[in-house]
Amino acid sequence: VKVKGALGYSKVEVEDGMARIASSPCPDQICVHVFGWISRDGEISVCLPNGVMLQIEDPADG
């Protein structure tokens, strides 16, 4: 999935109940190499330069 941010598009991958920022136009790539896959309720992954955030939410929490 491509998500538009301030610097361009970040690529988000969703697989088997997990998500991650797979690529981003930011210079340091911290969001890609440090955060990695997230899967637990409340976990987040952020690309600050591009203004993109992923957050895992349990659908049962409504």
Number of Cβ within 10 Å of residue 1's Cβ equals: 10
pLDDT at 62: 61
Average pLDDT over residues 1-24: 97
DSSP β-bridge partners for residue 11: 2, 23
**CA-CA distance, 24 to 34, in Å (whole number)?**
13
> Per residue in 15-44, pLDDT tens?
999 999 999 999 999 999 998 999 999 999
pLDDT at 59: 78
pLDDT of residue 47 exceeding 70, the answer is yes
**CA-CA distance, 51 to 7, in Å (whole number)?**
8
Q: Which domains does the chain have, with CATH numbers?
A: 2-57 (2.60.320.10)
Q: Give me the percent of the chain exceeding a pLDDT of 70.
A: 98
pLDDT at 60: 79
